[in-house]
Amino acid sequence: MMARIKSSKLIWPLLALIVLLALNGFFTPGFFHIEIKSGRFYGHIIDIMNQAAPVMLLSLGMTLVIATGGVDLSVGAVMAISGAVMALLTGKSGVFMPAGLLLTLILCVIAGTWNGLLVSAFDIQPIVATLILMVAGRGIAQLLTQGQILTFHDSSFAFIGSGSFAGLPFSVTVVLVWLAVTAVLSRATAIGMFVESIGDNTKASRYAGISVNTVKLFVYAFSGLCAGMAGLLVASGVNAADSNNAGLYYELDAILAVIVGGTAMSGGRFSLIGSMIGALIIQTLTTSIRAQNVPVEFALVVKAIVALAVFLLQSDAFNKMFAGRKAGV
Amino acid sequence: MISKKHIPLAATLAVFALLYAAASVSFEGFFSVRVFTNLLNDNAFLGLAAIGMTFVILSGGIDLSVGAMIGFTSIFIATMIQRYHVNPIVAIVAALAIGSLLGASMGCLIAWFKLPPFLATLAGMFFARGMGLIISMESIPIKSGFFKAIETFGYNFYPVTTIVFLAVVLIALYVAHFTKFGRGVYAVGGSEDSAMLMGLPVSRIKIMVYTLSGFCSALAGIVYTIYTTSGNATAGTTLEMDAIAAVVIGGTLLTGGVGYVAGTVVGILILGTIQTMITFEGTLSSWWTRIAIGGLLLLFIFLQRFIQTRAQGATRK
């Protein structure tokens, strides 16, 4: 039992989250306090879940991409595009809301497929391939909104980002449903195994008959879809599309969440739950620092230190250095 | 006939020449010493960061912290001079030392603990940006005699920022092509295992490369501070991506081992020309710059891809 717990990769991120929450409970009075107002829960914990939702969505797609040994830098820019397109369709042109959602998401899948094509068919390094859309994508989003913040209101669209379901913010439901979909998609089918196999050894996977290019195309398209959903969530939360700032630096948070959650940057084994915990750790850090009357900017420094600690714990060279001393091997 | 390995560099030069010629034909007064001087002056800080980045990418790594480092250096110098009345030269030297130290620390993490460069420098980026914002959120104008003197010197003679940039370019060219360290960087980027087996000090070279990049980005921060005569902690936001774009457009392969410092300089000139063209046009908005850079990146990546596959095809025969 102990050995199983120790060997589980989830134990470190989970422990980190628990310690963080405990520290918060200690230093911030009423941290765990949850109020019920008009059938809805309110409290720090609920806020954390709500604010972590966009990064959680992103990290679901990012987990699969990183597990194939790639990375998707464009998700932040795709978020901006997604918000801008929705604002233009439903906000400006009055397109029926569900149709607007669908069209926006299809566009984001196309954006992701573009990344996937560059990575698979043209065999371009993922960092470079997705850098193109990262740079150009934000420009395209700014072009769509003419560099302005487009405000729009559609009550059914606003519900996605600020409504509540079963007492919790609706965004939590979105994340849970999407987590379930991703889990079924990757674990109930062979896709998850293909993804891990490609991340471990692309050449061997190809020889084993896995259609490497198709799988890669799929994970980048899926990541585009996740980014589109995250962009819609953010836009609906503020009833506006801000092409300049929406999703800025979110790609880095999503990558951090995935790595903190125990998926290696080099690819291979992945953990969706781990990434969810990773996203929660990052948001808890930010929220708890805000609760402490210290400048918000301090969060960045703490984020850097926590991230480094987790990276080092996962580094073989680092572990060997210390395990070697303890066990005398 | 140019040799195969010079084709990306030649292509970069051709694109720059075409762009500049097109701009000179379309806009009156574009083909002038003033515009070209401004081109160098306005992009000197980006250029300095991109030169450090070139060495990192040549060694097979990447450095995401350069933009944040510029913000940190800028606010650090401004605070030292304005709030603590430190001698500007002392502040500048201290900033260079801090930049090199941060770069060296990231290099150690990458070389000793085998952290992926992407992650180690991502942490460095958050750290530097956070530290800069902690020092001061608001931008601080600098009213020091030393900075005034630099400005006057620029008006009367030649902008100091450009002189620093050109000097660093010359030094970088020498280091990359005529020193043991430079050859080591190419070797490590070409194949780390081979470099190790050849007996090269791979870890030391890697640490030195990130130290160099830290130094260059701190210098870029100083040049930025001189350029704007103020400190701003948010300076250089997403600049790391522009620097990487300039390096790639300059013909350096992101897999490491192939590329030129001179290419990066031309890459910077291309980005600057696009920016200036959009300013001259007047009706085009700034976001077209981003879209154009994205398009150029795509073009150059395909070009490199094409040359690589042809080279592989040739060796197979």
Give the number of other CB atoms < 10 A from CB of residue A50.
21
Task: Please give, rounded to a whole number of angstroms, the shortest distance from the CA of A249 to a CA of chain B.
Answer: 9
Query: What pLDDT sits at residue A297?
Result: 73
3-class state of residue A244 by DSSP:
coil
Domain hosting residue B67, numbered range: 4-311
Query: What pLDDT sits at residue A329?
Result: 37
Query: Do A197 and A78 touch, CB atoms closer than 8 A?
Result: no
Q: Provide the number of structural domains found in chain B.
A: 1
- Region of B251 please: left (phi>0), alpha (psi -120 to 50) or beta: left
Write out pLDDT tens, residues A204-244: 999 998 989 999 999 999 999 999 999 999 998 888 888 88
Task: Please give, rounded to a whole number of angstroms, the shortest distance from the CA of B150 to a CA of chain A.
Answer: 32
Name the packing angle between helices B202-228 and B33-58 (round to 10°).
150
What values do phi and psi take at A149, rounded to 5? -90, 115
Gap between the Cα atoms of A258 and A59, Å rounded: 6
Q: Is the pLDDT of residue A3 over 80?
A: no
Residue B316 lies in a domain: no
* Strand boundaries in chain A, DSSP class E: 35-37, 40-42, 149-151, 164-165, 168-169, 240-242
A298 vs B: CB within 8 A = yes
Residue B30 lies in a domain: yes
Q: Is the pLDDT of residue A327 over 60?
A: no
Q: Higher confidence at residue B309 or residue A269?
A: A269
Query: What pLDDT sits at residue A2?
Result: 54
Both tokens of A276, joined, read 């969810």
Contact A147 B301 (CB under 8 A): no
DSSP string, B230-280: EE-TTTTTTHHHHHHHHHHHTT--TTSS---HHHHHHHHHHHHHHHHHHHH
Write out pLDDT tens, residues B150-186: 877 777 778 888 999 999 999 999 999 999 999 999 9
The CATH code of the domain that includes A253 is 1.10.3470
What is the pLDDT of chain B when averaged over all its residues? 88
Domain hosting residue A246, numbered range: 43-312
Residues in chain B closer than 8 A to A298 (CB atoms):
130, 134
Cα dihedral angle (A161, A166, A168, A171), rounded to 10 degrees? -30
Query: What pLDDT sits at residue A184?
Result: 94
Both tokens of A131, joined, read 């850098």
At B139, the amino acid letter reads S
Please report which confidence band the pLDDT of residue B102 belongs to, taking 50, 70 and 90 as the band edges: very high
Residues in chain A closer than 8 A to B123 (CB atoms):
304-305, 307-308, 311
Both tokens of A93, joined, read 């042109």
Residues 6+ apart with CB under 8 A from B142: B77, B78, B81, B82, B225, B229, B230, B231
Write out pLDDT tens, residues B199-255: 999 999 999 999 999 999 999 999 999 998 888 888 888 888 889 999 988 988 888
Residue A325 lies in a domain: no
Q: Name the nearest CA neighbour of B28 among B269, B282, B284, B292.
A: B282
Residues 6+ apart with CB under 8 A from A7: none
Query: What pLDDT sits at residue A6?
Result: 53
Cα dihedral angle (A254, A255, A256, A262), rounded to 10 degrees? 110
Count of CA atoms in the C-beta half-sphere (13 A) of A220: 28
Residue A36 lies in a domain: no
Q: What is the mean pLDDT of residues A308-318?
A: 78
DSSP string, B82-142: HTT---HHHHHHHHHHHHHHHHHHHHHHHHHS---HHHHHHHHHHHHHHHHHHH-SS-EE-
Q: Higher confidence at residue B49 or residue B151?
A: B49
| A90 CA to centre of own chain | 25
At A70, the amino acid letter reads G
Q: Name the nearest CA neighbour of A247 among A49, A62, A16, A17.
A: A62
Please report which confidence band the pLDDT of residue A312 belongs to, taking 50, 70 and 90 as the band edges: confident
Residue B271 lies in a domain: yes
Comparing alpha-carbon positions, the chain A residue that sits nearest to B65 is: A304
| B260 CA to centre of own chain | 13
Residue B317 lies in a domain: no
Query: What pLDDT sits at residue B317?
Result: 42
What is the pLDDT of chain A when averaged over all its residues? 86
Residues 6+ apart with CB under 8 A from B278: B284, B285, B286, B288, B289, B292
Q: Provide the number of structural domains found in chain A.
A: 1
Residue B208 lies in a domain: yes
Write out pLDDT tens, residues A125-171: 888 889 889 889 989 999 998 888 888 888 788 888 787 787 788 88
Query: Do A20 and A281 touch, CB atoms closer than 8 A?
Result: yes
3-class state of residue A37 by DSSP:
strand
Q: What is the mean pLDDT of residues B76-93?
A: 92
Gap between the Cα atoms of B254 and B247, Å rounded: 9
Q: Higher confidence at residue B280 or residue A218?
A: A218
Q: What is the mean pLDDT of residues B82-95?
A: 92
Gap between the Cα atoms of B55 and B62, Å rounded: 9
Mutation target to probe the A interface, by most A beta carbons within 10 A, among B239, B290, B303 is B290
The CATH code of the domain that includes B306 is 1.10.3470
Contact A136 B291 (CB under 8 A): yes
Gap between the Cα atoms of A58 and A49, Å rounded: 14
Gap between the Cα atoms of B4 and B15, Å rounded: 18
Q: A149 has which bridge partners?
A: A242
Please report which confidence band the pLDDT of residue B23 belongs to, taking 50, 70 and 90 as the band edges: confident
Gap between the Cα atoms of B313 and B317, Å rounded: 7
Most confident of A16-25, A260-269, B260-269: B260-269
Residue A275 lies in a domain: yes
Mutation target to probe the A interface, by most A beta carbons within 10 A, among B122, B238, B293, B312 is B122
Give the number of other CB atoms < 10 A from CB of residue B247.
29
Q: Is the pLDDT of residue A178 over 80?
A: yes
Both tokens of B81, joined, read 């001079």
Query: What pLDDT sits at residue A328?
Result: 43
Contact A308 B295 (CB under 8 A): no
